[in-house]
Structure 1
Amino acid sequence: MFAKVFRVKSNTVIKGSDRRKLRSDASSAFPTLTPQNLAELMPPKEELNIVKVYAHKGDAVTVYVHNRNPIMFELEKNLYPSVYTLWRYPDLLPAFTTWLPVLEKLIGGADLMLPGVVVPSSGLPEVQRGTLCAITVVGNRAPVAVGIATMSTKEMLASGMKGKGINVLHTYRDQLWAFGDKSNIPTIGPLETPLALTKDEQNYDTSQVSLSETQVPETVLENLNLREEETDVPQMTPEEIEDEQDLQESAPIQLSPQETMDNLLNQCFFHALKYKVKKSDLPLLTSTFLRNYLFSCCPEGQQVDIKKSSYKKLSKFLLTMQQRKILQVKELSKGVESIVEVDWKHPDIRAFVPPASAPEAQIATEGMAEAGEKQYQPPEITSLYGISAKMMPLFQDTGHRKGDLLTQSDVRSIIITYVKTNELVDPDNKNFVKINPVLCDCLLDKSEYNDISFLKWDDLLTRCLDRMQHSQQITFPGRSPIVRKGNIEPIDISVAQRGSNKKVTILKNLELYEIDPSSVANILQQRVQASATCSLLPGSKDRLQVQIQGSQVSHVGKLLIEEFKIPRKYVTGLDLATKPGKKK
């Protein structure tokens, strides 16, 4: 569930009533937790936060956080402990044991298959279908994952330990774990020796599989039977795993998908720097470099997906290249990074040779226009409203603090709840709200104190939003959201008069939406068959403006709205388009 990055909807301090309810729910869900345990887990005088998130598959999850660490999460009114909680109370849930190499699969989002389960001498724990379970690894009682049993213990044994055993919800090293302090797995007493071990295997050094370090070994065993297969052997012992590794070492080296993607990313990166990027292109937006340069160097039939590489993000990859002194990246404007310098004399660039299979057309410098049109994806822009000191009395009962950011729907819901709780709806006309002292101080000007006793619902909500601090959350595909104070500047289209009664169309603020001005200039120059240039925006050190000969507002608007998919409300000047004359 948390294998990929989730989106945070809200983060608020829990109210006293909600804290008591959480304790009651936790006590019911986990009877072994004593009142003292609950007091340690949720100290009454310490801050506890409720974080509402959306998982990558759209599931709405409520996460309870104490001291930066998620302690529990709630899904469909069911409460589940995090690994941080299970490390404090390792016997909270019945635990199934697996081998260390299986953990890497679980972290990647796989469920626990029964062939990967280790059967201890005391037998498997007694569970029923739907029971909440923990997962541990050989040699350590500290749980590494939480999941739900897909069948009872009797059904597992009756199936010959084949098929799916546990649906995994949360693991060590997933995004929920990363939301906390990212502490390592503690070492808690070794488990019992598995039934399948021989006398020699019982001397197997379990310290070799300790998880005390952050990085889990990358061992991936294809024959570990994570999926249901026809086999007479229910599980593999440590000695069999070592034998399998010896066989793999003698066979040709097989790169993992992640290593393959790393190699492809490096190949396209050096290809782009050596044959495509020119000194005149700098400074170059990192997003433009990815779309228009790096992607176009990808061999036919292959595709670069940074999320499948070990870097996960373009910024992390470029930081690595910067540390190798191949290039330099700077944040020229807030939240927007650009490549400002490239060392073309670097040995790695000089030594790069394109693969023999690469077509000559890839080696030559290509136009960026078509690539820019097809691959650009617009950002998702959400208006947020910050709680100011003056508006604080309206929100303090909900547990919010000064400066907290809320969506318009959140603000609307809180105001409606406040009005109904305080019985402020006018009984004679429900379209009006009575003004009490709190609403008077928050929403009315001093000159209105004696004149206004009621407000319409729409007027009430509009005044509330106007008096809050406006911000914008900008989310580009595949990247973490960026929050900017104030309203984002729209893309501005204007028409100016030049000498000899000539007109030019000027386009500004493209960089704020990570659109490359030079790419837009090239596209427009080809389409309207007119001169198009980029120049430094007056009064700015790092932003460009595009200037096209003639009145080209309609062409520019069509490009931005229909092809770059920029919402119309973020483009100004469209009304300047020349209207077609009336037919005679």
Structure 2
Amino acid sequence: MFKKKPTIKPLSPLRSSDRRKLADQIIADFDLAPPGADNSDSAEKKAEATAARTSLRSSLLPDNVQSARFTTTHGPELKQISGTIYVGSQDGADSRILWWQIDGRMYPSIYTLWNHPGIVPLLHTPEIVVKKLRGGADLMTPGLARGPPFPKKARKGTVVGVASLERPSVPVSVGVCEIDVSALEQVQGAKGHAMETLHWAGDEPWSYSTGARPGQEAPEEIVGWQRAIDGDDIGMEGLNIDDEDDDEGGGVPLEHSAATVNGAPSKAGIPAEENAQGEDLDEPELSQKEIDDAFRNAFLYGIHQQKTSHPHEANHGLIYPLTQSSVVSSLINPFLPAHTQRQSQQLQIKKTSWKNIKKFLKALDKEKLIKTKEKDGNETTITDIDFNDPSLASFKPYRLPKKDTGSSAQPEQAAATSSGGDDAIGQKIEIRTLLKPTRELQPLFASAPQPYYTTAEIGSAVTAYVNAESLVSATNKRLITLNPTLANAVFDGSGSLDKEVLAKGSVPRDALIDRVSKAMTSSYTIVRNGVEAKAKSGKPPKVQITLETRSGNKTVTKVSGLETYFVNPRLLADELRKTCAGATSVEALAGAAKKTEKVVEEVMVQGPQKDAVLKALEKRGVRSAWVEVNDKVKKKGGR
């Protein structure tokens, strides 16, 4: 629904009476009445029920909630619809869209789901499907996981949330069931839509903020949602999706999801026997202690590698606080001893005794190997590491799995080789502007027909045309006499110059060439090391460098649009991690690519690293003129 940015009118406060009515509507629609709400046997119980309902109202719609009308488009026909958004905050947090209403029906935002576990039925699907949902795709029935049975309330027309198998307690999408999901007895081989996607983490409502702040990142875990699903065996029964777009290859994700047949890893819809690729399917299961030791040793290896790679730098190149995601991507995943697909299947954080990364870090804190701090109640960050701990001093590196350089989505090894393997370094890049004649202008280029023309070629073609048509003025060779083709195709009479030219019946040669150029369709091509890429319409996109504040006053630098200039985001991130001595990450840029296009990735590095990024891009032939810097930190400070 929100693929395109909606038009939102100015916010206005919501009257207390309207807020109560709206909150009561939400309570009724989502069956959220607190216990004892209908029990009026005594004045005391009635008072308790009233207090509970008042508290629930304030939780769903805070006192500071504001509303505004909005318009957007929906469906394949881009039908225009309008509704109302409700924006508010609690506990001093940023004001965000909490609900939106269309045709009298209320829908919760991602932020509301994060703060109100259990408010809607929660469906699950693999991360590869979540990526598609974040582009606005609907959830298909074969993509449903963790069932049957599915949540009993997930009936046709019901509002539901969707979470990935990798982070099952964190909803990332909101939609409406198109079928009775709770009644499904199997999904394998099924067809059709299960849920119509309306809103997701990464779309425009998620990004909306009255304080011009970027959208909040999803937490690693939400305890309230986790309680509802603890004890469930998260599987992928019935999954039948095409995995040719799966960019999850390589590495060992903390929550790696793979279809299984009789316990053996398998590609979706392919029997395990045909998918073994020579691996030993009888490989024994790792014990709980072996899995725990693998994760602990991987963390020690990551710290050891950081210490030996940056012996003379402060904190050995680490910038505190370290977020859970950066610890996973830089200090754990690259060092897990997963040499086979089956080992990758078993080495998952949910299969450790800690169950999640937050508890894992807390355990290391108790050992006094690290110091941690709670952030926003949802995430644990590392604030210090004891590099002189005896366990680090006695640690001995072990053999790591070979890095699959052919997979663009593999997590970068912290022990990666130098940037000498990056073929973008030293490349020669040139951008050529090309112009394509419209149908009306085709007669001017009949002498030398071709799909695209440079500015110089346009001048030559126009000169050849006026000479062939004998349109050069006999008294002034700088003037070109208009003929019907020029008059109709070039000068349409919309501007003051057009009227003057048409009145005189002639135009200067330079003005004619300039006007023909402006009337043509603009395209561009990028020439790399003398090889010209396929021409594309429009202007060449710029590399985007964005500086913004996250988690209070911590600045991060984001870089996207690298693929246009043949720069590998993951190799760039590897270099920036070393040169900036800070954690980096690479993630798919939500909504940046169409379904038929390759995933566009965004590099994030800790700290204000604009200069370092520009220098790294310059080494790769990307000029500063092709880069656009958006300093949101500076704008926020009013400097």
- Same-fold status (TM-score > 0.5): no
**TM-score, normalisation: structure 2:** 0.36
**TM-score, normalisation: structure 1:** 0.39
